[in-house]
Every structure is written in C-alpha cells, then in structure tokens.
Amino acid sequence: MKLELKGITKRFGSLVANDHIDLVVEPGQVHCLLGENGAGKSTLMNVLYGLYDPSEGEILVDGTPVIFKGPGDAMAAGIGMVHQHFMLIPVFTVAENVALGNEATKAAGFLNLDETRRKISEISKQYGFHVDPDALVEDLPVGVQQRVEIIKALVRDAEVLILDEPTAVLTPQETDELLDIIRQLKAAGKSIVFISHKLREVKEISDTITVIRRGKVVGQADPSASPTELASAMVGRAVSLTLEKKPAQPGEATFKVRDLTVVDHNGQHVVDGLSFDIAKGEVLAIAGVQGNGQTELTEAILGVQPHVTGSITLDDVELLGRSVKQVLSAGVGFVPEDRKIDGLVGTFSISENMILDLYDKPPFAQGIGMKPALIASHAEKKVEEFDVRTPSINVAVGTLSGGNQQKVVLARELSRPLRLFIASQPTRGLDVGSIEFVHKRVIAERDNGTPVMIVSTELDEVLELADRIAVLYRGRLVGIVPAGTSRDVLGLMMAGVPEHEAELTAHKTLEGGTHV
C-alpha cells in the first residue's frame, strides 16, 4: 500500500504546526521522520491517523484521496499507530486491549475473547513475540506493552504502521529488539513510519529519511549521512554534538547516601538500599530506564517522599527527616524532572518564578513586605545571564518555550551558593541549542566545585556529562562505572545485568559482529 500526504497543513489558532507537508511512504519501506521535539512530527501523524482534521491538504491511499473522520477510518484504510504514550488500558488484559474496538462477538454482543486469544498467539508466533493474552497490561514491562500495541495494529490488518518515538521508553537492548521486529515487519511487506529524534536508530533502520523543522519539510536525507549532518539538518544550523569539558577534579566526598530505601504506597521498595557518594567537582549521572526509582530517589533527597529510611548526609549534616525548606537552605539546588509541574508556576511571571524559593528572605523581602524593584532587577540580570528569550520579565512563564522555561528553572536554582546540585532530566524536550546551553551550565557548576547529580534516561546525555555513572534497575544500584564505559555494557546494566556479566556479554556481541 502506498501512502501519500499532499500539502498537509494544520493550524492551532495562529500556530502553524504543519505547513504544507508532502510525504510519500512506499510499500515495504521504513520511512523515518526526523525532527526535534515540537517540530510537528506527532501532529502530522495524528492528522494521518484521523485524530486531527487537517486545515488543508489531502491524504492519498494508493492514489485515491481519502478523508479520515476518526481513527476508525484510518484503521479501516490499513493504517495502524503505536503512540508515544501507549494507548492501552492498564486494568484490562492483553486480549481485552487487543479486542477493544474490533471485538469478536458471539450472539447478542457477548465477547468472544477466545477468538482474540487465537489471533494474538497467531501473530505472536509469526513474529516471535512472547505475550500472554491473559496478563494484565499494567503488570507488563514497557517493551512488552509496546508489542501489545503492535499486535493491536496487526490484528486490524495494518499495512502502514506508524511508530511515534517508540524508543523513548526502552532500554538499549529493548530498542535493538524493536528494530529487529521492524525489520521482520518490513520483510512481511508492511510499510513503517518511524518517528524519532535519535540519530543512531534513524541511521540504523531507515530506507528514507524526511527531515522536518518548524512544521516544514526541509529535505530528504540519506541514511548514510553522518550524525552531524543529520543533526544540522534537523536544527537548521551547524551543531557540535560533543561537549567540550575539562577532566573532573574531584575533591572530597561531601554528599553521602547510605542504605536509602523508599517504600511506596503499595509497599514496593521503589528505591532499595542505595548507597553512593558524590565528591566536590564531579558529576555522578544516574542512568536507568524511566521508572526505576529515579524520581523517588531525587524526591527522597529533597524531602518530599514519605516512608524513607537510611541516611542522606551533606557536609556531615543529615538531610533525611528535614523539611524541603531546610534541605534547600542547606544548599541543595534542584531541577525537577517535570518543569511544568514541579519547577515553575506557569501563570506567574518570570521574575516571580525566579524567586520562588527565595521570596521570604533578604534581600528580596523584609518582614512581611517584598521588594519588587529588587526582584525585577534580579530577574533582568538572570534573564540576560541565562539567555532566556522573552519579550519581558513580566510575561507568564507558561507562555515560554520549553528551552526557555528550563533556563528559568536553572537560573533560579543556580542563583544561590550551592553545596549540591541535582538536575533531573535537565534537557527533556529541549532543542539542540538549549541542550548545549544547559550542559555547559551544568559543567560550569561542577567546575565551581559543587557535587552534581544528574538523573537522565537518555544514554547520550549520561555519557556526555558524567564523570561516573550509577545505573539503577528496579530501585537498586546495579553498579557504579567510570565515564568511559561502553554503551552496550550500560545498556545491559540498565536491564539489571551486573557490571562484570554485562561486560562479558557485550564483548561476545561485539565479537559476533552485529552492531555498535
């Protein structure tokens, strides 16, 4: 099946998310859409899948124009989609999720789940998925959930499969498995639209690459192009993908975590007996797939998690059991993983957001009064220092782009003298330019002699920033390894394989001569 998009334009109010996009997906091809966050890739795919009505343009299937009023029409036309955030119902079984919307029924509308189970095992056999049709989706690992999504599309006889940022939630090993699945699907004659901003995977899997920037197609690229070329095409200017930094000069270890355990409301040990140190002037990166205890670890340090045991000391002062305010005034700078929820008050102005944690202390306050003039001049200074692109310091922070919002958070957290700096997912959703800026500031803080802890699920970022890497798996420390450790070893460790075993396995794979 050949799929064509002609002049697709999608406007949200005055914002043009897609601007006259043309795209042709040939049968049996893996077509990559490469573009930064916010470039309009997902919007385009939602138009294609019938979730949005295009403002202009048309979709052609095998040369015939079609109009999709909803996802049902798109599916009927043979288009399947695996969303970035899985569209699975956690409390349903795999079979129920697959059946939904496409139910096999007996008389009087009674469900025939046996029929669905049969189809699932048929597809599982064909592609080598191991999926139990009666497992509850919420109990399945993310990689398996993704397979359920693929099965959902295949059961509906999808000929074109759209994968929206499919590797964002996967470990490197799961990513490799997914790429294998994509190759099998391609061999079976399906077309794949693969959306990503990760150059490595795009280069590895695609037949054709279309680069999208600010809602427009800026050109086709060849899979053999170098990562730097691809990145430049994506961003629109020359970028350097490597960060220049001096070797770390670690001093004494001032931040110590011992036997830290966090129990969640279900009684799960989400952080399980962690112990590590961070020295002055070094970056410890916490690597791991999302949801392996990183959030709880940082929140435990900040003091917003209940049920924490163990010990956290900074300069020999116990932080555990103190209020958030006491922790902050002990000199902890904290960049939360979700800036919109925990980092900023969206409706407050930039200048107000700059003093969210300092509003009650001199020089910004005196008694019960605040000093607006001083707050404004402080904001002006920081906006300039951190290169926040804004018309004024009085605009609501929520209206800024992600990169500029993150710069505001950084500016606030780095404006105090720090004894520990924690940044969680510091560059999530940022454009390449902002990523460069954030990374430079983090390294600058390290070179000031502050112990720095970076939590990131992006292996690239971890390798970029870290002086040492601690890998978390299911709340436990798999090991702490030096910065130069290879991607494959880290990938295996992120799946819970201990360090020495990971090294052995990774060597074997390399000798087998597969991929780097």
Partner 1 sequence: MSTTTTQPGSGTPAGNAPDRSGKPGVSELVSWKAGIGLSLLAILGTVLFGFMSNSKSAGFGIAEAANEAASNVAAWVTLVLALLLSAWLGYLWFVRRRSGPASGSGQLPGWLPPATVAAVVVLGLAALGVAKVSKITLPSAAIGWIAAVILLGLAGYTVYLTQAKKATPRWVGGTFAAVFLIGFMVWIVAGGNGDEPSISLAGLIAGSVTLAVPLVFGSLSGVLCERVGVVNIAIEGQLLLGAFSAAVVATVTHNVYAGLVAAAVAGSLVSLVLAVVSIKYLVNQIIVGVVLNVLISGLTSFLFSTLLTADPEGLNKPGRLPPVDIPFLSDIPIIGPILFHQSLVGYLMYVAVIVVYLGLFHTKWGLRVRAVGEHPQAADTVGINVNRTRFWNVLMGGAIAGIGGSFFTLVSVDAFSKDMSGGRGYIALAALIFGRWNPIGAFLAALLFGFADNLQSVITIIGSPVPSQFMAMLPYALTVFAVAGLVGRSRPPAASGIPYVKG
Residues that bind partner 1 (CB under 8 A): 46, 49, 51-52, 70-73, 75, 81, 83, 87-92, 96, 99-103, 105, 108-111, 152, 250, 253, 259, 261, 263, 265-269, 272-277, 279, 307, 309-310, 468, 474-481, 499
Pick the closer one to partner 1 by CB: 72 or 372: 72
Number of neighbouring beta carbons within 10 Å of residue 128: 11
From the CB of 127, what's the least distance to partner 1, in Å? 21
* CB of 103 or CB of 177, closer to partner 1: 103
CB atoms within 10 A of CB 367: 6
Measured from the CB atom, the residue of 49 and 421 that comes closer to partner 1 is 49
Candidates 141, 221, 132, 214; CA nearest to 173 is 141
Q: Which residues contact 483 (CB under 8 A, 6 or more apart)?
A: 463, 466, 467, 468, 469
Q: Angle 46-60-186 (CA atoms, 0-180°, nearest 5)?
A: 75
**Cα dihedral: 501, 504, 510, 513 (round 10):** -100
Least distance (Å) from partner 1 to the CB of residue 232? 32
Six-digit token string for 6 = 């002609």
- Look up residue 333 and give its two tokens: 């700078």
Nearer to partner 1, 249 or 394 (CB): 249
- Least CB distance from residue 70 to partner 1, whole Å? 6
Task: State the burial class of residue 315 (Cβ atoms within 10 Å of its Cβ: 0-12, 13-18, 19+).
Answer: middle
Omega within 30 of 0 (cis) for the link into 363: yes
Alpha helices, DSSP H, located in 188-240? 199-205, 227-235
Q: How far is the CB of 58 from partner 1 (least distance, A)?
A: 20
Q: How far is the CB of 362 from partner 1 (least distance, A)?
A: 38
Among 437, 468, 435, residue whose Cα is nearest residue 451: 468
CA 455 distance to own-chain centroid: 12
Distance of closest approach, residue 367 Cβ to partner 1, in angstroms? 40
- Identity of the residue, 50 or 343, whose beta carbon is nearer to partner 1 in the bound complex: 50
- Beta carbon nearer to partner 1, 19 or 499: 499
Q: Which is nearer to partner 1, 102 or 448 (CB)?
A: 102
Of 174, 213, 224, nearest in space to 33 by CA: 213
Pick 216 or 474: Cβ nearer partner 1: 474
Q: Give me the least distance between CB of 183 and partner 1, in Å please.
A: 25
Closest distance of CB 251 from partner 1, Å: 11
**Residue 221 structure tokens:** 């690229």
- Cα end-to-end distance, the chain, whole Å: 33
- CB contact at 8 A, 452 and 442: yes
